[in-house]
Structure 1
Amino acid sequence: FCSGVKSSFQQFSSTSDYFYNFGSILVNDTQRTSSFSHTEMINAAYLQGSVKLPLEITLKSGVRMEHTYMDGRQTVPVDTGFLVNRADLFPYLYLSRQIIDMFDVKLFAYLIYRRTISRPGYDQLNPYIKYVDQFLYETGNPELKPQFTDNIEANISYEEWPVFAIGRNYTTDIFSNVVYRDKVNDNISVMTYDNLGKNTETYFRGMAGIPPGHVYFFGLGAQYNLTEYDGIYEGQPLQFTRGSWRFFTFHSIKVAKNTKIHVSGFMMHRGLFNFYELNTFGSLNVGIRQELFQDRLTVSINMRDILHTMVTEFELTQGSQRTSGDRYTDSQRWGINIRYNFGFSAKEDKKMPGQFESED
């Protein structure tokens, strides 16, 4: 049995002044000039406990209460704002049992239920208008509500990494980036956020490979998602179904006593970003790690997206909007990380095998 509390607070303000030249005079651009402040406080308390059941089953259950307070005030260009003041409960429950213990390989089966929240950020709530060009502007939606997800999953895990999982997400009050027609001028589009309804996402994920501890180990996996939307878009019923695949892999080989090479990559096929339908894209990453001076000095060289394959073709076909195009994310990175250990030990976060070190 254990319990705890957590509280976070942040406050910020911003003022932006825009001018344009009218002859030789600077004139304030009243449509783009803005001034706003934002205060946010999130308080949480949790309670959890575990108990041993017959058949070597472990039951763990708990609940978390969160209170959210958000106060946004905009004084320029118009005096407006929003206030969020609410409390929510998030229960979770999981059952676990060891099912295999053979050749130092232990597999556990888990059955999990959890409820989570996704809160809109201030930029998604702020009604300030940002002009992109003569045909498009962006604005927030102060009426935006948080979305809630109930997740049910069954998985089989090795050292807490699922090697097989099947589950379903039930999400309500989905908020998403949307593009509407301006109410005054049909030739202008408005990019904003809205709660569109609910969706059901069914997924399964599998992974196979050689576990760490040898000269060479690897992992190869795939995840399939079937997403079904049911809601309202531009006042019309929205029903939308799409399946997508994600393939991923990582490899590590010890080429010398203190030298390792890592390779990792992923490929997304028929992916989704909000309501944008994405074509196939992916990334391949390579790294080499060398340890020197009795493992005190570590030198890592990392290369990310070495094939320049982060080119995303997209299509949006929802409501009155018909948009297609492609976007290239310049995610190719070459970096070197040098670290020296003076003998002070520090607790390290658990990493996925083959995960690169941070380049920041």
Structure 2
Amino acid sequence: MKKIKLILCLFSCLGIAFTGFAQSSTPQTGSLKGKIQESGTREPVSFATVALLTLPDSAAAGGVSADEQGNFIFPKLPYGKYILKISMVGYATKRIPNLQLSENKPALDLGTIQMLSNTKTLSGVEIVGQKNLVEYGLDKQVLNVAKDLSSVGGTASDALKNAPSVAVDIDGNVSVRGSSNITVLVDGKNTGQSAQTILSQTPASAIERIEVITNPSAKYDAEGMGGIINIILKKDGKKGLNGNAALNLGTYDNHNASLNLNYRYKKFNFFTGYDGMQNSRRGIYELDRSTTYQASGSTTESTTYLEQRQKGRRQSQTHIPKLGFDYNFSEKESITLSAKLFGNSWNERETVNNFLQNDTRPEDISYTRLGNTENGIDVIDYAFSYRRAFALKGQEVTASAVYTTINGHFDRFYHQFNTDANWNNVGGDSRENFLQEFNVKPFFAQADYVHPIGEKGKVETGAKRSQRVLNTEFRGEEFDYDKNEFVLNELTSNKFGYSEFVNAGYVNYGNTWKKLSYQVGVRAEQTEIIVTDKGNDKKYRNPYFNLFPSAFLSQEINENLKLQLNYSRRINRPNYEALNPFVNYSDPLNIWYGNPFLKPEYIDSYEGSYLKFWNSGSLTATGFYRQVHNVIQQVRQVVNADVANNTYVNLNDGSSYGLEMSGSQALAKWFKLSGNASAFNYKVSGTPLGVEANSSKFSWLGRLNANVTLPKNISAQVSVNYRSPQALAQGTRAAIYNTDFSIKKDVLNKKGSVTFRVSDIFNTLKWDTNIKGKGLVYDLHMKRQTRIATLGFAYRFGEQEKRRRTEAGNSLEGMF
């Protein structure tokens, strides 16, 4: 705690010093602002590039990007004469000459600036430019989910299949450049739920856009080797009552619906909504495994062959009601209070046929294991945010807090019996229950301060407290046929506690010299992890203190060409499942348990980027290198001829390096291509538990999206995804590929739309894994129901006038 207090004191002193420095000089500067709209439709032109040139030499004086509502501002400009240049793919470049700032007129408000879309008539139909599906920046990629037809009726995980650098597996787990260690934020804020839960249970219809930041600055949590995925939910700030509704009906009982309402009156803005989703998936799981084992004192080896065939169906329902309000004390000060309930339940029924053959046993063994899993979880999020801006442009204070309660159960019921060659029950029945109850209470609170320095510089500082306290109870039961009841099994029962406390503070300083922008910063985090094995009365503590520096350089060659270099140090803390020493016997042939002695991973991440714009497209190229220390990996170890253990260990080191290319190109007014490809090599090394776990493999993934605009307000999209074979600590995972198709028609004066989508149209998505270790060969094939057709209708209503929302922390903008 002394270290934390000292660092926070240092940050405060730095803030005071910078404040004094800034007030010591009052340069002769003014400001320039405006709002960009599309001519005719009066819709905002989001994220347009706004460049400022000096007169008479037309030298670059600065550049900004418009926000989502088309607003832009140059807060501190030297007095002089300027030319304003606005450009955006799909629109004619706009120039406004002869702009002058002086002592008599230090502030210019250009009001609404109209931009002409690049239009063309095809058979009497006007084709207009639209916002790109993926927009590329030097510090992040933005996936405009609202423009992604292939995610209609899906979830955030489905939408991320089109995001650069991102891969999604069969269970909805997301990885970025080969790493599944990511931090997921919602509207720029932490939630208490896992990344997988957020991504798999958030309907795509509720999302406006998703930001992928692979190398965040010191301002953000150091957690997550793969960086940050920030989900921006749909919001509305129009006057009066307005909202939107959507209904999507899919094959095999896959449906979702949403309704969002917003009412703005004077200084209040009230919002409420509901998202509901029902999913159903059938799947198969086929495992072929051979284990070779030599018992202690024996001179011969015994080999067992296991053939496991599983079929199942998972059904789930999700309900997410929410409500809240904004209150604007003034244009510079506002608060937001909100609450959200997340309720999810799912059931999975499975039949697993097992066949075992051993070269030392006279008879083969076959048996069937019937499983029924019931899961339920209820989450309530309470959120608060505050924003206060000051007279000095760019100076502001923000604060936010999120308190979450999570309660749930995860119950598994098994019935096992011996079978003949045709899988008929021949006796030997046994029944087992594995019941788990858990509660989690996450809490996050943070405060940030930004202070401008000179004309283009700024200092940022802030502090954050985050904590997660989890308690869970496992109860194993076996059916006693003599008593005709289930009785407690002490071996499979336990109580477990996990607590994580992180205190953090940071400071960033950024400025611009000519066309070079730079930012340096450091984040300090004091962490304490407490793992409690209550059943065995054992407690494991792991406190540690770390500094996480970051540095960014951005060079503007011209208004259409930029270069960037950056570095950051990050951490991946093992989750509670990897730390829990309790042994899970739910599959007696594949036993799982955690490792409470796991150390966190530390990552040094380097990136270099190139960004080029032109009138009809853009290109981003990024080279990256990561050095990972204390790599956390799952390993398998043979226990005897029939059983394999699965646990987690720290390997020595790992590294990955690669190149990523992303771009878009309009080939015609009605046809646009966009895509990305990422190639990387991942290497890990180590020999934990006597198990060889060295692996090095080149992998790559690519995506291609084709968007076509047709007559009569019809548009179509085809998306192709491919991921090459992937390296694992003890083997490889085979290539994955799929194709999605979507078509949409705007109706009711473009207030409504009808969409038809087919995911994995050729039904090619499958997951094949091969593992090889000491005495172990493991081949796994998994296939789930992925070809699903969805018919959807969406409608928006209310006033058409938009305003900029004052809620703080919605976007990870302004890295420089």
**TM-score normalised over the length of structure 1:** 0.84
Aligned to 1:247: 702
Identity %: 18
Aligned to 1:27: 487
One-letter code aligned to 2:518: L
CA shift at 1:247, angstroms? 1.7
Structure 1 distance, partners of 2:787, 2:697, is 29
Aligned to 1:99: 557
Which residue of 738, 742, 748 corresponds with 1:283?
A: 738
Inter-CA distance 231–16: structure 2 relative to 1 (3 Å threshold):
closer
The answer to whether the aligner puts 1:153 opposite 2:613 as a matched pair is: no
Structure 1 distance, partners of 2:471, 2:799, is 43
Inter-CA distance 12–57: structure 2 relative to 1 (3 Å threshold):
same
Aligned to 1:142: 596
The answer to whether the aligner puts 1:117 opposite 2:579 as a matched pair is: no
Larger mean CA deviation between 231-240 and 202-211 belongs to 231-240
Inter-CA distance 162–188: structure 2 relative to 1 (3 Å threshold):
farther
Aligned to 1:171: 628
Please give the residue correspondences for 1:1-360 in structure 2 after superposition, counting only pairs within 5 Å: 1-25=459-483, 26-54=486-514, 56-76=515-535, 78-101=536-559, 106-157=560-611, 163-182=620-639, 185=640, 187-210=642-665, 214-235=669-690, 238-256=693-711, 258-335=713-790, 336=792, 338-343=794-799
For the residue of structure 2 that corresponds to 1:120, the secondary structure is coil
CA shift at 1:30, angstroms? 1.2
CA deviations 1:102-148 (Å, max 9, x no partner) are xxxx2321111111111111011001111143322000100111111
One-letter code aligned to 2:528: Y
One-letter code aligned to 1:240: S
One-letter code aligned to 1:73: T
CA shift at 1:204, angstroms? 1.0
One-letter code aligned to 2:521: G
Structure 1 distance, partners of 2:571, 2:793, is 36
Aligned to 2:195: none
One-letter code aligned to 1:51: N
One-letter code aligned to 2:492: R
One-letter code aligned to 1:287: S
Inter-CA distance 231–98: structure 2 relative to 1 (3 Å threshold):
same
For the residue of structure 2 that corresponds to 1:124, the secondary structure is helix
Which of structures 1 and 2 has the bigger CA Rg?
A: 2
One-letter code aligned to 2:552: Y
For the residue of structure 2 that corresponds to 1:32, the secondary structure is strand
CA shift at 1:214, angstroms? 4.6
Query: Do 1:283 and 1:305's aligned partners in 2 also have CA atoms closer than 8 Å?
Result: yes
Structure 1 distance, partners of 2:729, 2:761, is 27
Query: Do 1:296 and 1:342's aligned partners in 2 also have CA atoms closer than 8 Å?
Result: no
CA deviations 1:214-245 (Å, max 9, x no partner) are 53221233221112223223336654321112
Larger mean CA deviation between 207-216 and 223-232 belongs to 207-216
CA shift at 1:68, angstroms? 2.2
CA shift at 1:210, angstroms? 0.5
One-letter code aligned to 2:637: Y
Inter-CA distance 14–308: structure 2 relative to 1 (3 Å threshold):
same
Larger mean CA deviation between 220-229 and 196-205 belongs to 220-229
Looking at secondary structure, tell me which structure has more strand per residue. 1
CA shift at 1:57, angstroms? 1.1
Structure 1 distance, partners of 2:465, 2:787, is 38
Query: Do 1:38 and 1:70's aligned partners in 2 also have CA atoms closer than 8 Å?
Result: yes
CA shift at 1:48, angstroms? 0.8
Larger mean CA deviation between 326-335 and 11-20 belongs to 326-335
Structure 1 distance, partners of 2:692, 2:730, is 14
Structure 1 distance, partners of 2:551, 2:747, is 46
One-letter code aligned to 1:306: I
CA shift at 1:89, angstroms? 1.5
Larger relative CO (CA 8 A, sep 6+): 1 or 2?
Answer: 2
For the residue of structure 2 that corresponds to 1:24, the secondary structure is coil
CA shift at 1:333, angstroms? 4.1
Structure 1 distance, partners of 2:610, 2:499, is 43
Inter-CA distance 285–343: structure 2 relative to 1 (3 Å threshold):
farther
CA shift at 1:80, angstroms? 2.6
CA shift at 1:208, angstroms? 4.0
Structure 1 distance, partners of 2:464, 2:658, is 32
Structure 1 distance, partners of 2:742, 2:695, is 40
One-letter code aligned to 2:507: L
Structure 2 distance, partners of 1:234, 1:320, is 13
Structure 2 distance, partners of 1:177, 1:283, is 27
User: Structure 1: which 4+ aligned runs deviate by more than 6 Å?
Assistant: 346-350
Query: Do 1:81 and 1:142's aligned partners in 2 also have CA atoms closer than 8 Å?
Result: no
One-letter code aligned to 1:328: K
Structure 2 distance, partners of 1:48, 1:111, is 16
For the residue of structure 2 that corresponds to 1:142, the secondary structure is coil
Looking at secondary structure, tell me which structure has more helix per residue. 2
One-letter code aligned to 1:139: Y
CA shift at 1:187, angstroms? 4.0
Larger mean CA deviation between 287-296 and 39-48 belongs to 287-296
One-letter code aligned to 2:798: F
RMSD: 2.8
- 5+ residue gaps, structure 2, are 1-458
For the residue of structure 2 that corresponds to 1:149, the secondary structure is strand
